Amino acid sequence: MRFSSQIISVLQYLSITMLITIGVSIPVKADDSMMFSELSFPDTNGDVVNMTDFKGKVVLLNFWATWCPPCVKEMPSMQRLKDHFSDQPFEIIALSAGEETKAVNAFLSQLKTEFTFPILLDSEGVSFMALGIKGLPMSFILNKEGKSIMTILGGREWDDQIQITLIKNALENKPLQ
């Protein structure tokens, strides 16, 4: 019996959704053809932020949503990672997917963590289509030239030793794995 491509796509989506729901983290091969430098989105104050502003820095670009439990869980550890590398050319950008400014700001005001990295808004979900976002959270590590060097699907504790070493290696242009 042959499965149609639609059924296979649905099964793949359900598998990814299940992995994200239970918090499994999957490294995915980065696609160098992605045009991260062309991305620009408003922040929570309405100011437009362009990815070219971060050229010369290693960037952790994280896609998240307020309704995503693994996304919410990993955000404080992202701030601790940012603090750990505060004297390095490193930036974290959290891009809220498909939500309006008011909802994101209300959510952020309820958290105990004050974030010092940009939180951008993609209320139309443009990034999902342009970058092929398969689920949330999804993160890209970009090198200092703005090219994707690793893609990570699923939540993490960003300030554990494995992730610290990962970012340290990216900063030093060493292999990530």
Q: Domains of the chain: which residue ranges?
A: 5-171
Whether residue 25 contacts residue 153, with contact meaning beta carbons closer than 8 Å, is answered with yes
Cα separation, 45 vs 97, in Å, equals: 16
E-strand stretches of 4-113: 26-28, 40-42, 48-50, 58-64, 90-97
List phi, psi (to 5°) of 28: -125, 145
List, for residues 134-166, the tens digit of each pLDDT value: 899 999 999 999 999 999 999 999 999 999 999
pTM tops 0.75:
yes
Pair of tokens at residue 165: 């070493």
Query: Does domain 5-171 sit in CATH 3.50.50.60?
Result: no
List, for residues 32-81, the tens digit of each pLDDT value: 445 687 889 999 999 999 999 999 999 999 999 999 999 999 999 999 99
Angle at alpha carbon of residue 63, lines to 38 and 14, rounded to 5°: 120
Q: What is the pLDDT of residue 95?
A: 96
Q: What is the pLDDT of residue 126?
A: 85
List, for residues 91-131, the tens digit of each pLDDT value: 999 999 899 999 999 999 999 999 999 999 999 988 887 88
Pair of tokens at residue 131: 């970058």
